[in-house]
Each structure stands twice: as structure tokens, then as C-alpha cells.
A = this chain, B = another copy of it.
Amino acid sequence: MSIMEENYMEERNIVVAVDESEESMYALSWCLRNLLSQNRKPTTTLILLYIKPPLDVTGYLFAGDVIATMEKHNSDLTNSVMSRAEAIYKNFEPTVKVEKKIGSGDAKNAICLAVEKLGADILVMGCHDYGFFKRALLGSVSDYCAKHVKCPLVVVKRPRTAQMRDDM
């Protein structure tokens, strides 16, 4: 099959991995501007994927109210991330078909599994511009996804001028 004979995809699922970071919100905004331009058919679905931090309390003796507080915190975080994302795509013209998916667990594994399950055509994610030590300790979610997802991956870095001081 020649490359050019391939049909233009009529239906596309674009998955944007969102989290609490400014970087992920910037990636969402970039995606709207660059991948969902005005003549896109309404068959493109933007899927916002948020992976909650795992709430693993096995082996710990937490009082019931502590666990409830942790769960509440997790749920507040999810709402906060999705509200911020909503504020970004609501301003975008034309209206985009949006779905929200919430997962939990280790972000990099959970994103790769979700991308496969959702039949994503493109995965978009932000990139924390960590220094050497932070990267060595934490690993990089985008590195992992680049190795493991099957679809095209867009790693969006925020331009230096738009970066906040907290990513030092």
C-alpha cells in the first residue's frame, strides 16, 4: 500500500492527557489550535483523559475519616483539572465534541492502556521540563508513552516565556 493511497480518516479520536500542571493545559490549548482547526469535520472527538493518583491504603492503618478525606481530595483534584480544561475548550470555536475519561493508577501505564482501549488516533501530552536529577528520579511519562503507544504522540512543551517559575 502506498502512503498516499491511504484514506483520509473520517473519524478521529484525539486523546489529551490532562493533569494539574500548567503544561498539560497548554498542551490542550495547543491541540485545539493546531489539530482541531475550523474545517475539521465534527467527527473528531476530543477525549480528555485524567489519571488520578492511586489511593493505595493497603497495609496502612488509617482511620475511616482519613481515607474519606484522601478520597475527597482526589475527587476535588479531578473536578479542578476538568474545570480548568473545560474553561479552555469552551472558548474554542467551533464547538468540539468532548468526552471525559477518568482513570487511576500509575500515570504512564494507565495512559498507555487507555490510549489503546479508546482507539486513539493521536495522543497529546504536555512535558514537564525537569532537570537531570528530577528526570532521573521520576522518569518521564512522555518518554514512556513514546515507547509504548502505537499512535502518533505529540509532546507539547510550553515556550520558555510562558513557563512559570515552579518548573525549575
Contact = CB atoms under 8 A, between A and B. Distances in A.
B152 A146 contact: no
A40 B34 CA distance: 10
B155 A6 contact: no
A64 interface: no
A6 B162 CA distance: 9
B150 A155 contact: no
A29 B8 CA distance: 11
**Interface secondary structure of A, over-half rule:** mixed
Given A6-B162, A39-B37, A152 B155 contact: yes
Contacts of A122: 34
A50 interface: no
Contacts of A165: none
A35 interface: yes
Contacts of A38: 39
B142 A146 contact: yes
Contacts of A154: 152-155
A117 interface: no
A162 B152 CA distance: 14
Contact of A146 (B4, B34, B143): B143
A154 B153 CA distance: 6
Contacts of A142: 146
Interface in A1-53: 1, 3-4, 6, 8-9, 22, 25-26, 29-30, 33-35, 37-40
B39 A3 contact: no
A33 B4 contact: no
Contacts of A118: none
